[in-house]
Structure 1
Amino acid sequence: MADDDITRPDPEDDAELAFEGALRPKSLTEFVGQTKVRGQLELLLRAAALQGRTPDHVLLAGPPGLGKTTLAMIVAHEGNRPLRMSSGPAIQHAGDLAAVLSSLVPGEVLFIDEIHRMARSAEEMLYLAMEDFRIDIMVGKGAGATSIPLELAPFTLVGATTRSGLLPNPLRDRFGFTAHLEFYDEQELEEVLRRAASLLDIDIDREALAEIAGRCRGTPRIANRLLRRVRDYALVHGKPADLETVRAALDLYDVDSLGLDRLDRAVVETILKRFGGGPVGLSTLAVSVGEEADTIESVVEPFLVRVGLVTRTPRGRIATPEAWQHFGMTRHTDGLFDA
Structure 2
Amino acid sequence: MSPSHFEDHSADVSPRLVDPNGTEDEQQLEAALRPKKLADFPGQPRVREQLSLVIEAARRRATPPDHILFSGPPGLGKTSLAMIVASELEAPIRITSGPAIQHAGDLAAILSSLNEGEVLFLDEIHRMARPAEEMLYLAMEDFRVDVIVGKGPGATAIPLELPRFTVVGATTRAGLLPAPLRDRFGFTGHLDYYDAADLADILARNADLLGVPATREGITEIAGRSRGTPRIANRLLRRVRDYAQVHGRHVVDLTSARAALELFDVDDDGLDRLDRAVLEALCRRFGGGPVGLSTLAVAVGEEPDTVETVAEPYLVREGYMIRTPRGRAASPRAWTHLGLRPPDGHFTETFQRDTDDGGGRFTG
Q: Same fold (TM over 0.5)?
A: yes
State the secondary structure of the residue aligned to 2:40. Answer: coil
Tell me the TM-score normalised to structure 1 length: 0.93
- The Cα shift of 1:13 comes to 3.6
The aligned counterpart of 1:316 is 327
Q: Which amino acid aligns with 1:126?
A: L
State whether structure 2 residue 283 is matched by structure 1 residue 247. Answer: no
Segment of structure 1 superposing worse, 299-308 or 138-147? 138-147
The aligned counterpart of 2:236 is 226
- The Cα shift of 1:15 comes to 7.7
The aligned counterpart of 1:3 is none
* CA distance in structure 2 between the partners assigned to 1:16 and 1:313 by the alignment: 42
Q: Percent identity?
A: 66
Q: Which has the higher contact order (CA 8 A, sep 6+)?
A: 2
State whether structure 2 residue 56 is matched by structure 1 residue 46. Answer: yes
* CA distance in structure 2 between the partners assigned to 1:127 and 1:15 by the alignment: 39
* CA distance in structure 2 between the partners assigned to 1:332 and 1:53 by the alignment: 64
The aligned counterpart of 1:271 is 282
- The Cα shift of 1:275 comes to 0.5
1:96-123 Cα deviation digits (max 9, x unpaired)? 0000000111111000100000000000
Determine which of 302, 317, 321 is the counterpart of 1:306: 317
Q: 1:297 to 1:15 in 2, by over 3 A?
A: closer
State the secondary structure of the residue aligned to 1:54. Answer: coil
Q: Which amino acid aligns with 2:212?
A: I
Q: Which amino acid aligns with 2:273?
A: R
Does structure 2 retain, via aligned residues, the 8 Å contact 1:93–1:121? yes
Equivalences for 1:1-339 in 2 at 5 Å? 13=22, 21-239=31-249, 240-333=251-344
Gaps of at least 5 residues in structure 1 are 1-9
1:285-333 Cα deviation digits (max 9, x unpaired)? 1111121112211221110001110000011111111111111111232
Tell me the TM-score normalised to structure 2 length: 0.86
The aligned counterpart of 1:6 is none
Q: Number of paired residues?
A: 326
Gaps of at least 5 residues in structure 2 are 1-18, 347-364
Does structure 1 retain, via aligned residues, the 8 Å contact 2:219–2:252? no
Does structure 2 retain, via aligned residues, the 8 Å contact 1:19–1:199? no
Does structure 2 retain, via aligned residues, the 8 Å contact 1:270–1:289? yes
Q: Which amino acid aligns with 1:94?
A: A
Flag as ranges the 4+ runs of structure 1 deviating above 3 A: 10-21
* CA distance in structure 2 between the partners assigned to 1:311 and 1:332 by the alignment: 17
Q: 1:142 to 1:16 in 2, by over 3 A?
A: closer
* CA distance in structure 1 between the partners assigned to 2:149 and 2:327 by the alignment: 51
* CA distance in structure 2 between the partners assigned to 1:200 and 1:234 by the alignment: 14
* CA distance in structure 2 between the partners assigned to 1:37 and 1:68 by the alignment: 11
The aligned counterpart of 1:7 is none
Q: Which amino acid aligns with 1:297?
A: E
* CA distance in structure 2 between the partners assigned to 1:288 and 1:177 by the alignment: 43
Root mean square deviation, CA, Å:
1.7
Does structure 1 retain, via aligned residues, the 8 Å contact 2:143–2:164? yes
Q: Which amino acid aligns with 2:248?
A: G
* CA distance in structure 1 between the partners assigned to 2:202 and 2:180 by the alignment: 36
Q: 1:318 to 1:16 in 2, by over 3 A?
A: closer
Q: 1:16 to 1:160 in 2, by over 3 A?
A: closer
- The Cα shift of 1:159 comes to 0.4
1:246-304 Cα deviation digits (max 9, x unpaired)? 01000111111111111111111000100011111111111111211122112211100
* CA distance in structure 2 between the partners assigned to 1:120 and 1:262 by the alignment: 37
Q: 1:19 to 1:87 in 2, by over 3 A?
A: closer
* CA distance in structure 2 between the partners assigned to 1:299 and 1:19 by the alignment: 23
State the secondary structure of the residue aligned to 1:330. Answer: coil
